[in-house]
């Protein structure tokens, strides 16, 4: 009996769940600047998958790499939803954004 397909399927579901969770938490705490983490992790995992001799382990690492790359788009879309007000940022990040907006509006009003 071959269990590799079941193992790969479970690993894929877990990887999708894990990267989605990291995406949500990353945007909540850090905002859009979090996407380079996914880029580095995704490219690193794909390169590692190329050089892993075991096909099952290589497949799992490859799935993780592509999930990280998919997370870049998810991070950007999720940040847009946060900006629309559909979700709330972390309070610290919210205060920073409000200060930046008020400083920009004060700067604009002094130039006029």
Please state the pTM of the whole predicted model. Answer: 0.77
Q: What integer pLDDT is reported at residue 112 of this predicted model?
A: 56
* pLDDT tens-digit map of 3-58: 999 999 999 999 999 999 998 888 888 777 778 989 999 999 999 999 999 999 99
Mind spelling out the 3-state secondary structure of 12-62? HHHHHHHHHHHHHHHHHHHCHHHHHHHHHHHHHHHHHHHCCCCHHHHHHHH
* pLDDT tens-digit map of 53-84: 999 999 999 999 999 999 998 888 888 887 78
Q: What integer pLDDT is reported at residue 10 of this predicted model?
A: 96
Helices and strands in the chain: count of H runs, count of E runs = 4, 0
Domain extents in the chain: 3-109
């Amino acid at each position: 009996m071959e269990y590799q397909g079941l193992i790969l399927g479970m690993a894929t579901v877990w990887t999708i769940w894990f990267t989605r969770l990291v995406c949500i938490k990353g945007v909540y705490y850090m905002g859009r600047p979090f996407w380079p983490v996914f880029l580095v992790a995704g490219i690193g995992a794909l390169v590692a998958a190329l050089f892993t001799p075991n096909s099952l382990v290589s497949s799992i690492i490859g799935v993780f790499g592509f999930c990280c790359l998919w997370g870049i788009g998810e991070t950007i879309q999720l940040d847009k939803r946060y900006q629309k007000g559909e979700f709330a940022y972390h309070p610290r990040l919210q205060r920073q954004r409000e200060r930046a907006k008020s400083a920009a509006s004060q700067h604009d009003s002094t130039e006029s």
